[in-house]
């Protein structure tokens, strides 16, 4: 399985050069005054363990395991991925600006694998977003946050104010779509992470729920 995961990540990056990303543009929305200066993704803000069943689909191939995310201080999370049988695959600490690899199986100790995980989890675990523009449609309040050369569109449900989607774009091209299903502000029951420029999809389903 470990060799399989590495091979398919290599294939995905090869095909990346052949794939095209669509220009991202909001539709059927209206601009509103900036009522918020910052917005937050609070789904991983608790100090409790977040434990998920993890499913990865890579070019029509499937890998599954257990993912544990824990906030260890104000800026840093620890992320551990194990196989379904409990064997540790990778263990790292990550913040917006830092990445520390604690453990990785030799077969997964490849720059391609590490960069892939670092990139996705830095986007996923970012908590605070400065607001540059605000929009709304019938269902959502939408905030555009520009950080360096990256842009994030955050969609909050109008009825319960829960974050339901983050669209990450770069150079006006849609890169990653994070879709959440949640009942609480601090815990997502499920997450769907869909890459738009190559065929990688990660799904997380709750195993233990935070209070």
Q: What is the pLDDT of the chain when averaged over all its residues? A: 87
**3-state class of 149 per DSSP?**
coil
DSSP state of 21: P
Handedness of CA 174, 128, 94, 140 (dihedral sign): negative
pLDDT in tens, 102-154: 999 887 788 877 888 899 999 999 999 999 999 999 999 999 999 988 999 99
Long-range contacts of 171-177 (CB under 8 A, 24+ apart): 172/23, 172/24, 173/21, 173/22, 173/23, 173/24, 173/197, 174/21, 174/22, 174/23, 174/24, 175/21, 176/120, 176/123
pLDDT at 18: 43
What domains can be seen in the chain, in order of their start residue? Answer: 2-208 (2.50.20)
Alpha-carbon distance of 154 to 137, in angstroms, equals 13
Name the E strands within 59-120: 61-71, 77-82, 88-94, 99-104
pLDDT in tens, 7-37: 555 555 545 444 456 788 898 999 999 878 9
Residues 6+ apart with CB under 8 A from 119: none
């Amino acid at each position: 399985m470990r060799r399989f995961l590495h091979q398919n990540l290599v294939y995905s990056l090869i095909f990346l050069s052949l794939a095209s990303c669509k220009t991202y543009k909001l539709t059927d929305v209206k601009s509103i005054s900036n009522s918020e200066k910052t917005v937050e993704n609070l789904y991983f803000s608790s100090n409790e363990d977040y434990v998920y069943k993890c499913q990865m689909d890579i070019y029509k191939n499937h890998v599954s395991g257990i993912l544990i995310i824990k906030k260890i201080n104000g800026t840093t999370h620890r992320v551990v991925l194990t196989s379904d049988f409990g064997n540790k695959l990778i263990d790292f600490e990550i913040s917006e600006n830092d990445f520390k690899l604690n453990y990785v199986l030799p077969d997964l100790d490849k720059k391609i694998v590490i960069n892939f995980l670092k990139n996705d989890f830095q986007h996923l675990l970012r908590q605070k977003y400065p607001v540059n523009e605000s929009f709304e449609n019938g269902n959502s309040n939408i905030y555009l946050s520009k950080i360096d050369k990256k842009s994030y569109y955050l969609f909050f449900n109008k009825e319960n104010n829960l974050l339901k989607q983050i669209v990450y774009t770069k150079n006006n091209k849609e890169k990653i779509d994070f879709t959440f299903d949640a009942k609480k502000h601090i815990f997502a029951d499920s997450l769907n992470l869909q890459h738009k420029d190559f065929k990688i999809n990660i799904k997380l389903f709750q195993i233990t729920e935070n209070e």
